[in-house]
């Protein structure tokens, strides 16, 4: 009886001696994804020139990656340094010009750097969501292939009919 009580006390003491500690070492095995910031409308500039919706950050982090915001107003050398420090790029959706905006210009820098890296055997993925995907089509084609439509903010009913 005394031996089992002593054994139990030792187990309890050992369990409490090293409670679930976290390592002080940084977490280097998670990919780092750059998210290109989006320009804001003039009436929002009092809060900042650019932004990233938190949903994009949460989306990337939920996949286990870390996020680096990429500002639009940096030099080419700064963008090259960031490119060498990240593992991929997310071009977010928004409402800017696909050819003349700072967003398009900066995305073009990263697109050309990614092409060069991929030609050298490195893997650098770029994901575009909504406007970001449209921008990728412009960058790949070298021109804007999208056609203008007047269907923005227009809702029409969908009436199903029977038959073939």
- Which residues are known catalytic residues? 130
Is 112:64 a contact under the CB 8 Å cutoff? Answer: no
Which residues are paired to 69 by β-bridges?
35
| C-alpha distance across the termini of the chain, in Å | 84
What is the number of H-type helices and E-type strands within the chain? Answer: 5, 6
Give CA–CA dist 139/19, Å, rounded. 53
Residue partners of 70: CB distance under 8 A and separation at least 6: 34, 35, 36, 37, 79, 82, 89, 106, 110
């Amino acid at each position: 009886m005394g031996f089992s009580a002593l054994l139990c006390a030792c187990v309890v003491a050992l369990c409490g001696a090293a409670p679930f500690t976290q390592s002080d070492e940084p977490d280097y095995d998670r990919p780092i994804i750059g998210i290109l910031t989006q320009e804001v409308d003039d009436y929002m500039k009092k809060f900042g020139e650019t932004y990233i919706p938190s949903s994009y950050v949460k989306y990337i982090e939920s996949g286990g990656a870390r996020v680096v915001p990429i500002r639009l107003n940096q030099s080419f050398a700064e963008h090259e340094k960031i490119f060498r420090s990240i593992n991929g790029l997310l071009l977010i959706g928004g409402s800017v010009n696909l050819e003349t905006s700072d967003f398009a210009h900066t995305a073009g820098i990263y697109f050309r750097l990614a092409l060069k890296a991929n030609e050298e055997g490195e893997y650098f993925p770029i994901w575009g969501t909504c406007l970001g995907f449209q921008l990728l089509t412009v960058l790949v084609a070298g021109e804007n292939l999208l056609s203008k439509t007047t269907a923005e903010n227009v809702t029409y009913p969908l009436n199903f009919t029977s038959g073939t």
